[in-house]
Amino acid sequence: MAAKSTRSKAGSESKARATVAKTYKLYVGGAFIRSESGRVMAVKSGDTFVANCARASRKDFRDAVKVARGALSSWSGKTAFNRSQILYRAAEMLEDRRAVFVDRLQSHAGFNEAAAEREVSVSVDRLFWYAGWADKFTQVLGGVNPVAMPFFNFTLPEPTGVVAVLASSTSPLAGLISAIAPVLAGGNTCVVLTDHDAPTIPCDFGEVLATSDFPGGVVNLLTGSRSELLPHVASHMDVNAVALFGGSKEERVLLETEAAENVKRVRCFDDPPVADWASSDHQSPYWIESFVEWKTAWHPVGL
Amino acid sequence: MKTYQQHEQSRQDREEMDRKQSNRGDIKSAGPDVESTSPSAPQPEIPRLLFGDLWDYDPAPESTEPFPIEKRYEHFIGGKFVSGEDYFPSINPATEEILFEVPAAGQKVVDQAVAAARSAHQRYWKELSGAERGKYIYRIGRMIQERSRELAVLETQDNGKPIKETRDVDVPLAAAHFLYHAGWADKLDYAFPGAKVSSLGVAAQVIPWNFPLLMAAWKIAPALATGNTVVLKPAETTPLTAVMLAKIVQEADLPPGVVNIIHGAGETGSNLVQHPDVNKVAFTGSTEVGKLIQKSLAGSGKKLTLELGGKGANIVFEDAPLDQAVEGIISGIFFNQGQVCCAGSRLLVQESILEPVLSRLRNRMASLRVGDPLDKNTDVGAINSRAQLEKITSLVQAGEKEGATMVQLSCPLPEKGFFFRPTYFTDVAQSHRIAQEEIFGPVLTIQTFRTPEEAVQKANNTFYGLSAGIWSDKGSKLFKVAGALRAGVVWGNTYNKFDPGSPFGGYKESGFGREGGLHGLLSYVEVK
């Protein structure tokens, strides 16, 4: 029954043959894993059962942070060109699976066909856009500073480190990608928590990432409850920054209060209605800037 | 190519010759020396610098006479000096004498100041073109230059730092910050490619006592250039030059309320940053207080920048130019009595050159003159307050107790005032409090390393991430290490250099946001 509903579009053929049902898991350290807690969330489309998605626990989050920390040097140590190429590759992989996502957005997330097509197009284009930024924002936003002394002085961005992303609850794909692409372009690694009615979509996106040459652990995708995990995200001492999309006033207060314990950088973004994610208001090199640290170096100039 | 050892041998040979030539037998050393608490501490291998022992320095105090200090100063709100309540004294830390008193702003005064800033933002400053704003900011810079001697003399009395520093660093840099930012005011459209920026509104700014005028300039100049109005609270121990800056703002005829300056201690600062009508908070000070501010602003939507503490590593590789490196070590830790958030307070020396570095360091330290901050020959002045002196003293005691070996300059100290002898520790473990905590005084810890990887690991082994120094003549190594250090400012073959065009700020628990340069503007605008 479950198998049938996840492949409802298979039509008459489904009567003859039962499809193989997919297990939706967390994507951590380059592997697809179940929650250590053994918990799942039953995902439904209307009244129809769709899948059991893993519901990440506090321990899953902590494990993912450890993995993301471990992956930081391999990701930030790559050339900007190489990071750019891998992000481009992710755009290729997503484009390639376009039909799957258009289908799932309709059958799992209640999109109509036009909206599903748009969601996927925005997602691919946004990844492609940020991929190009990865080896350019340094030049556009960094610089050489003309100091009034015989010194060569320049300012360059470096990744902030491990970023926890509390992604959109309106847009399961474009919102997710709009959140993580600037973080990755800046050279950070991330742990992403998606609390969306259709958590299968971010899980499917994990397969795009898994085939895009990201080193394991650069992006870690968790599905679960934001309200459950937010206090643990906020207080984790090895998280350097948090990106919060939407969220209530109470959530922001809690997050920013706990975040002060290790002076986390907290960035709060809007979580607009799903159709609005297509707007170019939701992509900016200054979103990359939100997750970098500026390093200024001095050296004497002389004979 | 010569190996390091050959270099070192020939250097020692040269120095031996110099010593023989200058030691004419009849000159007795009368200058200051360095003393170790440990009998086993190594003694200098190379002779002291002897240029000062034929005669004593005559006192050369800068005159305070042309710049009388009034008994009492006031808040500056809405373009006027307004009296307040709860006056408290500000003392000269070099003499412990009361210089003047200022009022402590309660909630009512904070409300008045924020209201004045809000009104000035809406009525004048937001409406003014960038070109016009720039001319006002420029006036402030020029007037600081014109009154630079006065500002230096007053700052030295209120703060305790040597006149040569206020005269040559604090005041000229403060003027430079206004002059630099004046030019940005009408060019913001070019500063942020592809984005439209707007001012935030009212900026609440709380600054520390270590660079009173300079910090005020760091805070006010970019805020005004980007179209914000400000309420600034100087530190309670050093309000004098902020008052003088207020006078300059008044004389420069800025629209009333664009710059407001109120006095008080932590409670005033706390009321100011939490004021609901403030849009932007900029704080420079300790990490402890910074965290409290970050907490207190949670959910407020105010834009926050924090420039907090540091425990800067100054890394000296065996291929470093040693004489320059020693100058950098000295300025890294003894500039402003070490009361500098980006001080090079942890010296990391490659093991193979520990002894040559230590002997040169002792030698150079012996030439430091500690005493009257107003004396133009003074290198190390007074600690800013008794509380700070006690903090330094207790951390130094902790260092001795935990087993590190202390070496201290054995110079005479003035009978009155808050003075501390330049000090360094060897045999320091990473776990020692003196290696972990910000001392904010003229106290250096010295550790060794064998490989660049170990140096980087030790340098980054701290919650702080503000500054670092690297000394090496090998460019590729310098770049590699600079990239691996988690610090916002990295000085290669130099230390403690500042410029208004050079962004400054920290990684990790040293805070976020930058001050100075293009990147400092971002802290004061909304990007759309």
pLDDT for B85-143, tens place per residue? Answer: 999 999 999 999 999 999 999 999 999 999 999 999 999 999 999 999 999 999 999 99
Say if B95 is an interface residue toward chain A (CB within 8 Å): no
pLDDT of residue B20: 45
Q: Does the pLDDT value for residue B23 go beyond 90?
A: no
Mean pLDDT (whole number) for A253-273: 97
B307 assigned to active site: yes
B342 assigned to active site: no
pLDDT digits (tens, 9 = 90+) for B233-292: 999 999 999 999 999 999 999 999 999 999 999 999 999 999 999 999 999 999 999 999
C-beta separation of A185 from A134 below 8 A: yes
Give contacts of B290 with chain A, Cβ < 8 Å: 263
Contact B294 A256 (CB under 8 A): yes
Contact A299 B493 (CB under 8 A): yes
Q: Does the pLDDT value for residue B55 go beyond 90?
A: no
The amino acid occupying position A3 is A
φ/ψ of residue B312, rounded to 5: -65, 135
pLDDT of residue B47: 64
Q: Does the pLDDT value for residue B30 go beyond 70?
A: no
* pLDDT category of residue B38 using cuts at 50, 70 and 90: low
Give contacts of A294 with chain B, Cβ < 8 Å: 488, 503, 505, 514, 519
pLDDT digits (tens, 9 = 90+) for B386-442: 999 999 999 999 999 999 999 999 999 999 999 999 999 999 999 999 999 999 999
Contact A295 B299 (CB under 8 A): no
Give contacts of B483 with chain A, Cβ < 8 Å: 158
pLDDT of residue B19: 47
Q: Does the pLDDT value for residue A12 go beyond 70?
A: no
Contact A263 B308 (CB under 8 A): yes
pLDDT of residue A8: 47
* pLDDT category of residue A213 using cuts at 50, 70 and 90: very high
Find, among A31, A67, A111, A33, the residue nearest to A238 by Cα: A67
> Whole-angstrom Cα distance, residue A123 to residue A129?
10
Taking each helix axis from N to C end, the angle separating B171-182 and B148-159, rounded to the nearest 10 degrees, works out to 120
pLDDT of residue B56: 80
Looking at B62, B307, B318, B515, which residue is catalytic? Answer: B307
CA B335 to chain centre: 8
pLDDT digits (tens, 9 = 90+) for B325-338: 999 999 999 999 99
Mean pLDDT across chain A: 95
pTM, 2 dp: 0.92
Give contacts of A153 with chain B, Cβ < 8 Å: 499, 501-502
pLDDT digits (tens, 9 = 90+) for B452-503: 999 999 999 999 999 999 999 999 999 999 999 999 999 999 999 999 999 9
Least confident of A253-257, B21-25, B520-524: B21-25
Contact A260 B463 (CB under 8 A): no
pLDDT of residue A14: 55
φ/ψ of residue B334, rounded to 5: -105, -10
C-beta separation of B77 from B112 below 8 A: yes
The three-class DSSP label of residue B28 is coil
> Whole-angstrom Cα distance, residue B225 to residue B186?
8
Two structure tokens written together for A84: 């750019």
- Domain boundary assignment for chain A: 26-294
Residue of A nearest to B479 (CA): A297
From the list B299, B483, B519, which residue is nearest A155 (CB)?
B519
Left (φ > 0), alpha (ψ -120 to 50) or beta: where does B301 sit?
left
As annotated, the residues of chain B forming the CATH 3.40.309.10 domain(s) are 310-492
For the domain A26-294, what is the CATH code? 3.40.605.10
Say if B517 is an interface residue toward chain A (CB within 8 Å): yes
> Whole-angstrom Cα distance, residue A231 to residue B524?
30
Q: Does the pLDDT value for residue B18 go beyond 60?
A: no
What does the DSSP 8-state code read for residue B443?
E
Say if B193 is an interface residue toward chain A (CB within 8 Å): yes
φ/ψ of residue A230, rounded to 5: -55, -45
Say if B190 is an interface residue toward chain A (CB within 8 Å): no
For the domain B75-308+511-527, what is the CATH code? 3.40.605.10
Architecture of domain B310-492: 3-Layer(aba) Sandwich (3.40)
pLDDT digits (tens, 9 = 90+) for B371-400: 999 999 999 999 999 999 999 999 999 999
Among B462, B519, B522, B526, the residue to mutate for chain A (most A Cβ within 10 A): B519
pLDDT of residue B3: 46
Q: What is the DSSP string of B311-346?
A: --EEEE-TTS-HHHHHHHHHHHHHGGGG--TT---E
For residue B287, the tally of other CB atoms under 10 A from its CB is: 22
pLDDT of residue A74: 97
Residue of B nearest to A255 (CA): B298
Q: Does the pLDDT value for residue B39 go beyond 70?
A: no
As annotated, the residues of chain B forming the CATH 3.40.605.10 domain(s) are 75-308+511-527
